[in-house]
């Protein structure tokens, strides 16, 4: 079962270790006198998820192809940095690679990324890929330069489902519920449209907040739900498939520009392969989590009927108009075009 992350302790230990070794002074592309070039990759989910496994694949590919000259150090489960401080850590050079969920870019100045949070936008992952792997995705990644960031690619976790301390079948079931959300205005508006109260919390605090009743429910893809042990504190899960959760892999221009060209190429190729691997295991990770949840047997799994799903979709439709201005109407128009291209 899941080991609860202890972010503060881990971070303190790591930072004191770095200081003792004089690593902090080595700059963003840290390299010891004879050791490998270290590339620190921090993320907030468990290793046994599409993101966790893709990060490990990247680590293995880089180790193998650089002959040990470069080392990707992976810090999962918010051991190093969490939702609240990982962007700052990247800017200051305390980490080199992140893969935040797309929902977390709005809060730090990229509201156009919240287009992915629009409820019931995508029917399947092929539609998502048309958006992320074409010109639309490229424009989003290019825009990250506004803050000295470099976008290296997108990949999927998958579709989100709702869980709570009660069955969620009809819109009326959401009334008054406190639901943990990521820090996305679109997701918050979606919960309000359902009559619920959105409570933005870091991912690493979610299970505990559910356990203590600070929030009564949440939404996530099943691999996150299972590996965080949320099923232990959520008696009901509804397979609503109401929204998408994916990631952008980012680094800082500072880190990237100091990397020799050959190493940039090596890292980029390895990353493309790791992303491709992550995308290929999305469905199996989902199926594995669902099978584990069914075997666990103590979380009741509800499958909404088509009519129930349609009424949920109708209830959240006003979010498109309400948040259109903040995302940017042109982004919404263009994502729809890209989906149907
Ligand atoms: C993640 O998958 O990186 C975290 C998602 C969340 O915060 O709900």
Q: Rounded to 10 degrees, what is the CA torsion of 218, 175, 216, 190? A: 20
pLDDT at 33: 55
- For the record, the structure tokens of 188 come out as 């918050």
Query: Ligand 1: which of 244, 245, 248 to mutate, most ligand atoms within 8 Å of CB?
Result: 245
pLDDT at 98: 98
pLDDT at 317: 98
Q: What is the pLDDT along the chain (341 residues), one digit of tens a residue?
A: 444 443 433 443 343 333 333 333 334 444 555 689 999 999 999 999 999 999 999 999 999 999 999 999 999 999 999 999 999 999 999 999 999 999 999 999 999 999 999 999 999 999 999 999 999 999 999 999 999 999 999 999 999 999 999 999 999 999 999 999 999 999 999 999 999 999 999 999 999 999 999 999 999 999 999 999 999 999 999 999 999 999 999 999 999 999 999 999 999 999 999 999 999 999 999 999 999 999 999 999 999 999 999 999 999 999 999 999 999 999 999 999 999 98
Tell me which residue has its CA closest to atom 7 in ligand 1.
203
66 C-alpha vs ligand 1 centroid, how far in Å? Answer: 31
332 C-alpha vs ligand 1 centroid, how far in Å? Answer: 23
Tell me which residue has its CA closest to atom 3 in ligand 1.
101
pLDDT at 34: 67
100 C-alpha vs ligand 1 centroid, how far in Å? Answer: 7
pLDDT at 215: 98
Q: Which long-range contacts (CB under 8 A, 24 or more apart) does 111-116 make?
A: 111/185, 111/326, 111/327, 111/328, 112/140, 112/143, 112/327, 112/328, 112/331, 113/140, 113/248, 114/184, 114/185, 114/186, 114/323, 114/326, 114/327, 115/327, 115/331, 115/332, 115/335, 116/244, 116/246
Cβ-Cβ contacts under 8 Å for 25 (sequence gap 6 or more):
none
- For the record, the structure tokens of 156 come out as 């999927």
Model pTM above 0.85: yes
Atom from ligand 1 closest to the CA of residue 182: 7
214 C-alpha vs ligand 1 centroid, how far in Å? Answer: 18
pLDDT at 2: 47
Atom from ligand 1 closest to the CA of residue 218: 8
Pick one of 3.40.190.170, 3.10.450.50, 3.30.2420.10, 3.50.50.60 as the CATH number of 9-339: 3.40.190.170
Residues 332, 270: Cα–Cα separation, whole Å: 32
182 C-alpha vs ligand 1 centroid, how far in Å? Answer: 7
Atom from ligand 1 closest to the CA of residue 100: 3
pLDDT at 26: 37
Atom from ligand 1 closest to the CA of residue 220: 8
Tell me which residue has its CA closest to atom 1 in ligand 1.
101
Cβ < 6 A, ligand 1 pocket: 44-45, 101, 157, 182, 203, 220, 224, 245
pLDDT at 219: 98
How many other β-carbons are positioned within 10 Å of the β-carbon of residue 17?
A: 10
Atom from ligand 1 closest to the CA of residue 224: 2
Atom from ligand 1 closest to the CA of residue 99: 3
pLDDT at 54: 98
């Amino acid at each position: 079962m899941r080991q609860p992350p202890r972010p503060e302790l881990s971070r303190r230990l790591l930072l004191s270790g770095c200081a003792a070794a004089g690593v902090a002074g080595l700059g963003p592309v840290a390299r010891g006198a004879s050791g490998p070039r270290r590339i620190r990759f921090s993320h907030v989910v468990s290793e046994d998820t599409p993101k966790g496994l893709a990060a490990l694949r990247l680590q293995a590919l880089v180790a193998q192809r650089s002959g040990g000259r470069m080392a990707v150090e992976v810090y999962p489960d918010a051991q190093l940095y969490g939702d609240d401080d990982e962007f700052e850590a990247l800017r200051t050079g305390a980490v080199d690679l992140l893969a935040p969920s797309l929902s977390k870019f709005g809060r730090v100045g990229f509201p156009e990324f919240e287009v992915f949070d629009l409820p019931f936008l995508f029917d399947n992952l092929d539609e998502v890929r048309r958006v992320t792997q074409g010109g639309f995705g490229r424009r989003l990644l290019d825009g990250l330069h506004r803050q000295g960031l470099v976008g290296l690619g997108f990949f999927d976790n998958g579709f989100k489902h709702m869980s709570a301390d009660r069955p969620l079948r009809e819109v009326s079931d959401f009334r008054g519920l406190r639901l943990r959300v990521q820090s996305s205005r679109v997701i918050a508006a979606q919960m309000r449209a359902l009559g619920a109260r959105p409570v933005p919390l870091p991912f690493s605090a979610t299970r505990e907040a559910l356990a203590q009743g600070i929030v009564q429910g949440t939404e996530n893809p099943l691999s996150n739900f299972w590996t965080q042990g949320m099923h232990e504190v959520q008696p009901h899960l509804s397979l609503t498939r109401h929204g998408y959760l994916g990631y952008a892999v980012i680094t800082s221009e500072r880190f990237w520009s100091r990397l020799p060209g050959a190493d940039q190429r090596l890292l980029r190729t390895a990353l493309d392969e790791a992303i491709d691997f992550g995308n290929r295991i999305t469905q199996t990770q989902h199926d594995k989590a669902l099978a584990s949840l069914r075997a666990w047997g103590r979380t009741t799994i509800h499958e909404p009927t088509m009519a129930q799903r349609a009424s949920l979709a109708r209830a959240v439709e006003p979010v498109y108009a309400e948040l259109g201005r903040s995302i940017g109407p042109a982004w919404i128009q263009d994502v729809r075009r890209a989906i149907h291209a």
